[in-house]
Amino acid sequence: MAVCVAVIAKENYPLFIKTTPTDNELQFYYTVHTSLDVVEEKISSVGKNVNDLRELYLGLLYPTEDYKVYGYVTNTKVKFVVVVESSNTALRDNEIRTMFKKLHGAYVDMLCNPFYTPGDNIVSRQFENVVLGMMQQD
């Protein structure tokens, strides 16, 4: 389903990146990095519009030729970025939304682990399993 899932800290450094193994994984890192500007823009544009919903889910950040990039930001300014293939038309907005909700849930559970120091790279196996689940099912 998703080809790349990334968690980015409040200070904009990566906490966790998982990609499907391809020959140019680095490209995804680049895509995720580029998307941060769009996330920033979306967050800061809020407030000008009174009727804004201020949802955590940011929607489609930008489409490229082969991929679509979706973003989500928590109240604590941790960003989640998911990259999916453009060819996958079965994925609707709602499914992406539930995917992010699940990822957020897993992140919260992971953060509540007393052995984890906030700001460290995520090495939790449970969290990784959720991410792998997001990337596998079709």
Chain residues binding other proteins by CB under 8 A are 10, 43, 46-47, 53-56, 73-77, 104-105, 107-108, 111-112, 114, 118
Contact present, 17 and 29 (Cβ < 8 Å) = yes
Smaller CB distance to other proteins: residue 87 or 115? 115
- Residue 35 has φ and ψ, to the nearest 5°, of -65, -20
CB of 136 to other proteins, least distance (A): 24
CB of 103 to other proteins, least distance (A): 11
As to burial, measured by CB atoms within 10 angstroms (0-12 exposed, 13-18 middle, 19+ buried), residue 61 is buried
Contact present, 64 and 80 (Cβ < 8 Å) = no
CB of 52 to other proteins, least distance (A): 9
Contact present, 107 and 7 (Cβ < 8 Å) = yes
Smaller CB distance to other proteins: residue 78 or 91? 78
Smaller CB distance to other proteins: residue 55 or 66? 55
CB of 85 to other proteins, least distance (A): 28
d(CA 52, CA 36): 21
Smaller CB distance to other proteins: residue 53 or 90? 53
Residue type, 71: G
